[in-house]
Structure formats: structure tokens, C-alpha cells
A = this chain, B = another copy of it.
Amino acid sequence: MSSDKQNNVKEMARQNGIVQPLLTDFYQITMAYAYWKSGKVNDTAVFDLFFRTNPFHGEFTIFAGLEECLKFLENFYYSDSDIEYLKQTLPATVEYEFYDYLKDLTCKDIKLSAIEEGSVVFPRVPLLRVEGPLIIAQLLETTLLTLVNFASLMATNAARYRMFAGKNVSLLEFGLRRAQGPDGGLSASKYSYIGGFDGTSNVLAGKMFNIPVKGTHAHSFVTSFSTLDDIHSVSLRHADCSRQCDFLKMVLESRERISEILDVSPDEASDGELAALISYAQAFPSGFMALVDTYDVKRYNIQGLFRHGRHANGHSGYNSNCGSNGRSIRNISSIRSACGYSTFERTLRSGLLNFCAVAIALNECGYRAVGIRIDSGDLAYLSVLARETFKRVAEKFDLPWFAKLTIVASNDINEETILSLHEQGHSIDCFGIGTHLVTCQRQPALGCVYKLVEINGQPRIKLSQDVGKVTIPGNKEAYRLFGADGHALIDLLQRSSEPAPEVGQKVLCRHPFQESKRAYVIPSKVEHLYKVYWNEGRICTAPKPLAEVRDRVQSSLKTLRQDIKRSLNPTPYKVAVSDNLYNFIHDLWLQNAPIGELF
């Protein structure tokens, strides 16, 4: 194949994505030229990619994005149009031989070591170590940071939700519409799945990453039906045979029976809503999951709003939309007595009655309904109300499974809401989480940096008055030391030339900067944190598939003590350096001290 043709094929392949060498900061290119021009083509360097602070006021981070980094290395080349663009953009004084140099650049001389994707990681411990030609290693900086920063932030955010929600609750990612761009949405789906979510509403993410996709219908579906006349067909085929059931009739009959059980008049329920639910059940008889808060909450509200001048007994101003602010369930009874029991109970009256009517009729046709979604109001209270309703119907109809119908909640939920709901008590089986999850609202960026730590075999230290910003110089290895109970005790950075710590042998672990802080540790297990993933122009350790990375997150989190993972005032996990590395750092520091100046 001619070189032109090869380039065409490559350019077409690249159109799959925007992760390419030009997805970088311009100064990487100008530096590359300055390095090239000053004869540094054969200089070799080591860069560490790491972060300095865990996100979300937590004490751990999940490392993610490695697979995408490897794909980036694999496809790293400047296309003809890239070179053309750079020629137009860099000054005319740039020598043409530089473009020839760029044209031939690949990552064949780069060696990339990394921690396993999905692992819990901590400040200062490099997630990636990039070794190779200075110019190429420098050119990778921005893209690697972009790929690791958001992926790790999202995976961490999702893992926190997973942890605080507990094992018995499903978590769905519902955030595409609020994500930071289409790809922000896709990344959010992918990395929240890795972090422990059970599925996403994002269909493309489902297709691309083989993630379970979930979803029911919107309020607009319900409001698009006005009356029972809007129902297209009254029938439904029975599950077990080809017999057509008169579904509408069955629903209306079951609504009569249930309205007695629930002590609600069928007149109180919206027929438009019933028409919508019937239509939805006809479309998905085996997967009937219905949104039940379209009408009742709203009806109640309309009155409160519209007849504003006519009553001043206080409850029109009561905001039942405040489930997410942590109001405890104890308050409900006081509101109930202030408003009158029946007024308050009206919440979900239409939706629950209609849902139960359709679900019972479905059962008579041989199908089991799945459950309901609540998207507004006091989620703790409403979920308990719905569960009580399901139990009552289950008992009356002698259908034990009915008591266990799934209750999904999905209104502006964040980490605090979940903790507060747990505190209050609720009957929610599944949370659908959007904005707070996908934009990482509490902290929308992770601050990974990429620092030069060695050049031509000579260590480099970045000094700063802010000790947190001092880099740990030289080519290093990282080990995780475990105690006898299986918990991770400490991460230890050593110079690459040092022998690995050994099980059962005491190891001196030192604080990297504070002379007085040191301790001996006798590990029961030692895990070498780095594997070489890329070397000699190819992936040499295959990144794990998504499902295994997802498992890795949970197994890795299990090795952390509970107090490190808790929401409030978690204990910091310790990262240490070996005695050898400590002395190495501080000798270098002294060498860099200025001459003849007083401090």
C-alpha cells in the first residue's frame, strides 16, 4: 500500500474519535520544536502522572482511563492535515525538517507503566509513569491528563454513590441531558458503570460499552393522553396463550376493587393517566414500570397556587418537593395533622391507584409488572407510602410478589440525599441519578498533573513553597503493603533501584517531607502497583475489559479500612517513601538551595 493510501486509511480510522495528538495544548508543540531545535531529540525523560488531593473531601480515588490512554498511544501519529495545520499555525521561521520529524513520530520508544485500572489510589503515588524520548513523552502530557482526570473523577464519584447507597439498592445513571457535552455524557455512563452503577439511560453508551440500559417513560408521555378515548386498542394478548383479553375492562374492574382497598374514589384518579399507563403496559406487558407522580402532586399544587388569595391556612405553601433536603420523616406526621390526613395522602393517589389497577389486570393476563418511578416530592415518605400500598394490595389479592415491586426514585439526587434518605428510612429499591453524578457537581475536576522527574538519568525535583506541590524526583516504584487482616496499610514509594519490600520483613516507611514522621511496617502481603502496559510500540499488558475493571473497583475498595471510606471526616490513608528515597529527595533539595541568600 502506498504511504498516501496508508495515511488515508489511518485518517479514516481516526474519525472514530477525537483523541488524537492535536488534542493537546499548543505549548506542547512549541516546546517540542524548541527541544528539537536545541538538539534534545535524543534526550530521555521520565514523567509521573499523579494527583495531589483526593476529590469530594474524601480520602480515596479510583484510577480510571487507562484503556483510553493505551488507545491514544496506539493511534498516536500526526496526519497530513495535522502537519498542514501546524505549518499554518506555528511561525514561518520554524524549520521544515521539524515537520518531517513530527510526521514520523510514534510512541514506539515510549514505555508506559501504570497502576491497574479500577484500583483505589492516593495522592502523590504516580498513576502512570511515562519513560522515553523527552519530546514524545512531553507531547503526551495534556491528552493523558484529559483522559485520566475525568475518567478517574467519574469513577470515584460513582464508587462513592455505590458505597453510600449500599448493596441492596440499584443505581442508574440518568445524566446525559445535563452532561458536559455528548462525550462528557458517554464518559459519565462508562465510568459510573465502572464505579459500581448498574446501568445507564444512555443508549449509545449501552451500545458502545455493553452497559445495561434502563428507562421507562417521561411525564410528557402521561400528559399526551387526555381521556380513556385516547386508548388505541382495548385488548391485550394473554401471556400463556393467544387469547385476547379485554384489557381495558379488566383494568377498570381492578381499579374499582383496588379503590375500595385503598379507600380512594376512582373519580380522584386521572383517566388520562390511566390511558397512558394502559398504553404503556400494552407496549411492555412484561416490563411495566410506570411514572406515578404526574397528576396527584400537580393537582394538589394547582389549587395551592391558583386559589392563592382564598386560603391562608399555611399548607398551600408547603413544599413537598423537598425530599432531597433531608427533612426527616418525623415531620410528615405533624404536617399531616396540620393539613388533614386525606389532603396529604392525596399525593400519589391517582398514580398509585392507576398503577395498581393496570398491574393487577396485567397479572390476570399472565404478566408481572416491574414497579414504579417517583420523580418528585418527599421521596422517603412517598416510597414508604407506595410500599404500604403494594403490601396492602399484595395481601388482598394474595400476590406476595406485589409487595416487592420495584420503587425507583429520581429527583435531583446526590450523595447527601442518599445518606439523608437512609437516615430517614425509605422503601426505594433504585436511584436514578443525573446532574450531580455526571458533572461531579461537588468538584467538577480532578487535578492530576504530569511532572518531569528525571532527564537523561538525572533526577528532577519541582520545588515549591507549598510542600504539597513538591514533586518526588527520579524513577520510582510503588508498593502497597497489607496487614494480616487483609487491609491495605500504606503505599510505599521507592527508588527503582531498590529491592522490593518483602513479606514478613520490616520496612521503614517515612513521611516524604517530615523528618520526624516514620514507622516500621511488617507487611503480610506486598503488591507491586505497576505493570508495564505499553512498550516497544505495542500494548504489552492488555487492559482489562470493562466488567473486570468494575469488579476491581469493588475488590480494591474492600481492602480499605472503613474509616478511610466514610463520608464524614474520613481518616487519610498513608503514603510513604523509603528511607533511601527520603534521603535522595532531601539531598537534591539541599543541592537546589540558593547560595548566599538568607531566608
Contacts and interface: CB of A to CB of B under 8 A. Distances in A.
A23 interface: yes
When all copies of this chain in the complex are counted, the total is: 2
Contacts of A23: 176, 182, 185-186, 202-204
Interface stretch (A26-34, A391-399, A571-579): A26-34
Interface string A223-250: 1101000111100000000000000000
A356 B538 CA distance: 45
B38 A215 contact: no
A376 B221 CA distance: 54
A213 interface: yes
B285 A460 contact: no
Interface stretch (A163-171, A421-429, A434-442, A481-489): A434-442
A38 B282 contact: yes
Contacts of A304: 465, 599
Interface string A191-232: 000000000011110110000011111111101101000111
Interface in A267-326: 267-268, 279-280, 282-287, 297-307, 311, 316, 319-321
A567 interface: no
Given A306-B589, A463-B299, A455 B224 contact: yes
A491 to B, nearest CB: 23
Contacts of A35: 221, 224
Contact of A150 (B180, B220, B346, B513): B180
Contacts of A298: 462-465
A203 B29 contact: yes
Contacts of A282: 34, 37-38
Interface residues of A, number: 143
Q: Which of A300, A452, A465, A598 has the most CB of B within 10 A?
A: A465
Nearest to A98: B283
Contacts of A590: 306
A146 B463 contact: no
A67 interface: no
Nearest to A298: B463
Contacts of A22: 203-204, 207
B185 A451 contact: no
A465 B297 contact: yes
Nearest to A586: B306
B466 A215 contact: no
Nearest to A84: B207
Given A37-B282, A91-B286, A466-B321, A149 B177 contact: yes
Interface string A171-183: 0001011111111
A40 B224 contact: yes
Contacts of A20: 204
A592 interface: yes
A179 to B, nearest CB: 6
B343 A176 contact: no
A25 B267 contact: no
A22 B215 CA distance: 14
A595 interface: yes
A597 B134 CA distance: 76
Contacts of A215: 25-30
Q: Which of A30, A33, A233 has the most CB of B within 10 A?
A: A30
Contact of A146 (B185, B285, B458): B185
B464 A223 contact: no
A286 B448 CA distance: 33
A441 B451 contact: no
Contacts of A267: 595-596
A24 interface: yes
Contacts of A463: 298-299, 301-302, 305
30 contacts: A22-B207, A23-B182, A26-B214, A27-B217, A30-B284, A31-B217, A34-B221, A34-B279, A37-B232, A38-B233, A86-B203, A91-B284, A91-B287, A142-B177, A146-B181, A180-B181, A180-B439, A180-B445, A181-B183, A181-B184, A183-B184, A267-B596, A297-B464, A299-B597, A303-B599, A305-B470, A307-B599, A319-B466, A320-B465, A343-B599
What are the 7 A-B residue pairs with the smallest beta carbon separation, nearest first?
A301-B465, A183-B183, A27-B215, A26-B215, A303-B599, A39-B232, A180-B180
Given A146-B185, A180-B181, 9 more contacts: A18-B183, A24-B202, A34-B283, A85-B203, A141-B218, A298-B464, A298-B465, A301-B464, A343-B599
